Structure 1
Amino acid sequence: MRILVLGGTSFVGRGIVAAALDSGADVTLFTRGRTGTDLFPTVPRRVGDRDTGDYTALRDGEWDAVADVSGYLPRHVGPAMDALDGRIGRYLFVSSHAVYVRDGVGPGADENTPRRPPVRDADVLTEDTYGPAKVACEDDVLARYGDRATIVRPVKVAGPHDNQDGLTYWVRRAARGGRVALPTRPEQPVQLVDVRDLGTLVVRLLADGRAGAYNAAGPVTTIGDLIGVCAAAAGTRVEVVPVAPEPAPKPFPLVKAEAMWHSQHRGASRARAAGMPVTPLAETVADTLAWDRARGTPPLRRGFTDDQERQALATAS
């Protein structure tokens, strides 16, 4: 199977490319050539830029399927589809569970959950525009490809090579042990999907020619239990200390306002029926810890600094 991956050298795209290569697929990458230039040295590359609409590198070639990991705005997706018009089979768009409405949604909500109104003219992606912009992208892909369109809606993706410091923050913090400041209640639900499970799902959907939408989500846990799993992987002991959320830098890794806790209960039975595996959380955590240590534990962009955590712990009741 010939697969073109739009954006495949960062985190999610990297997982999809690895899964595709493992399956024996013939993969081509389309990237800006800025990151991961040493990855997948045997894979052909086309260089362009979604932000400027430069898809001229795709003016020739045919593929059985496209996996679009780089589309966040309609102005990214539309030109890509135009450039590939008539030369691909299936178009798989990696969207987000943020497309769903925020209110009135209970645990186990599936792909039939109403979506938020689309936004087409966003200049900056924020908490208010990210999901609606993805809705607009989904609509455009579905309008162009119909039953040759596949939509994947991941929850928070986790695992090795995570460039968003989500699970990585808690893995690293638990590895230090001791009192851990948590700017939410320990019973806050958390739902992750291992990046490798997501990659496998994408490849299986393409190989089987499956249309429609699929929630890519793992089992639900609590953030308190997650920190405990991280400590167990590192062989440390921790005491989780709830602290007031106000001093915490925002957004804080994996922490949700209580009004958004419902978003951590997505139903994923359709994806699992399509072949998405479920890596145990302890394995995802252990592999993330090993990867983080191997890269030298560089500074993280999110979470408490040491001084901020000490301050938060000092004011905890």
Structure 2
Amino acid sequence: MKILVLGGTSFVGRAIVDDALRQGHEITLFGRGKTGVELFPEVERRLGDRASGDYESLRQGSWDAVVDVSGLLVRQVEAAAEVLGERVGRYLFISSHAVYAQSGVLPGSDEDTPRREPVRADSVEELDNDTYGPSKVACEDAVTARYGARATIVRPGKVAGPHDPSDMFTYWVRRAAQGGRVALPGDPEQPVQIVDSRDLARLVVQLVADHRPGAFHAVGPAEPVTLGGLIETCARVAGSAVEIVPVPPGSATPLFPLVRADWPAQQRSAARARAAGMPATPLEVTAADVLIWDRERGEPPLRRGFSAAQERELLARS
């Protein structure tokens, strides 16, 4: 198949392109040419800028499918669809669990859970916790309105794996590897869902190959896990021992790595995606691979989590 990827050189897009190439598909990358320029030298590149609406390089050619990894604003999605028109067979949009209504969620909720009201945000600067989800809803609606049964929506949960720029899972992998008393500003029994980036990629490429419409959750791992269990798994993989010490939630930032107050939102159903072919990489494998990657890159400072000094102070009071 010929697949056009809108944003395919950073983390999720990178994993999708890797998987598609392994499956023998022909890939075209569209982006600004500023990220991951050394990646995929064998792949055709079309330069453009979604922020400014520059899609001129896509006015020629046709593809069996487009995978939209980088669409944040509905005007970006509408502009891409307008330029591509009928020259693509399927439009797969990478969305988010942030599209869902934030109240009344039950454990095991599926893709038919009510979504938030769509919002047309005019610029990336406007996207925050209040507008990101509604903007993604508007993007989903634009794709389905334009392509109908040729539209596919994938809604990942927290994605983890090598090359993850968010530090959300990497923080716990690195901290658990250090061992000792570990400060957790939350409940160790909190459920947590992460999906390996390679499992997400395999799902996306399989959905495209199967011409499968509809919406799909990309969540994992296969077996339910608590946040405390995740930290202990990371420690076990690293050969260290940890003692998890709950500390007051108020001591952390609102987006502390993987700590969430809405537990049902961390227990969504992956049944539809599993039936469509999404694999389930064991959490131990994801943690081991992230540990290796993090060490190979020299363990740079993380933007999330406690600093060593902050954690020492909290543990001294606990």
TM over 0.5, shorter chain: yes
Retained in 1: the 8 A contact 2:183–2:246? yes
Q: What residue is the counterpart of 2:159 in the other structure?
A: 157
Distance in 2 separating the partners of 1:222 and 1:272? 21
Distance in 2 separating the partners of 1:122 and 1:186? 39
Match of 1:256 among 237, 240, 260: 260
Distance in 1 separating the partners of 2:46 and 2:315? 50
Retained in 2: the 8 A contact 1:90–1:206? yes
Match of 1:193 among 170, 192, 195: 195
Q: What residue is the counterpart of 1:245 in the other structure?
A: 249
Q: 1:90: Cα distance to partner?
A: 0.2
Counterpart AA for 2:235: A
Counterpart AA for 2:147: Y
Distance in 1 separating the partners of 2:302 and 2:149? 42
Counterpart AA for 2:254: K
- Structure 1 segment 229-244 matched on structure 2, within 5 A: 229-244=233-248
Q: Does 1:228 align with 2:227?
A: no
Match of 2:295 among 258, 282, 293: 293
Q: What residue is the counterpart of 2:120 in the other structure?
A: 120
Q: 1:122: Cα distance to partner?
A: 5.4
Distance in 1 separating the partners of 2:17 and 2:121? 30
Q: 1:315: Cα distance to partner?
A: 2.3
Secondary structure at 1:35's aligned position in 2?
Answer: coil
Q: 1:121: Cα distance to partner?
A: 2.5
- Structure 1 segment 70-81 matched on structure 2, within 5 A: 70-81=70-81
Distance in 2 separating the partners of 1:51 and 1:313? 44
Q: 1:250: Cα distance to partner?
A: 3.4
How many residue pairs were aligned?
314
- Structure 1 segment 265-284 matched on structure 2, within 5 A: 265-284=267-286
Counterpart AA for 1:284: T
Distance in 1 separating the partners of 2:283 and 2:203? 17
Q: 1:66: Cα distance to partner?
A: 0.3
- Structure 1 segment 18-167 matched on structure 2, within 5 A: 18-121=18-121, 123=123, 124-167=126-169
Retained in 2: the 8 A contact 1:19–1:196? yes
Deviations 1:126-158 (A, max 9, x none): 111111110000000000000000000000000
Distance in 1 separating the partners of 2:115 and 2:252? 30
Distance in 2 separating the partners of 1:67 and 1:306? 40
Q: 1:247: Cα distance to partner?
A: 2.0
Distance in 2 separating the partners of 1:161 and 1:312? 30
- TM-score between the two structures when normalised by the length of structure 1: 0.97
Retained in 1: the 8 A contact 2:108–2:264? no
Q: Which is further off, 243-252 or 73-82?
A: 243-252
Secondary structure at 1:85's aligned position in 2?
Answer: helix
Distance in 1 separating the partners of 2:34 and 2:185? 35
Deviations 1:196-235 (A, max 9, x none): 0000000000000000100111133111000000001110
Distance in 2 separating the partners of 1:122 and 1:116? 18
Counterpart AA for 2:60: D
Q: 1:73: Cα distance to partner?
A: 1.0
Q: Which is further off, 245-254 or 17-26?
A: 245-254
Distance in 1 separating the partners of 2:177 and 2:137? 38
Structure 1 residue runs of 4 or more that deviate by more than 4 Å after TM superposition: none
Gapped regions of structure 1 (runs ≥ 5): none
Identity among equivalent positions (%) equals 65
- TM-score between the two structures when normalised by the length of structure 2: 0.97
Distance in 2 separating the partners of 1:152 and 1:249? 29
Retained in 2: the 8 A contact 1:122–1:133? no
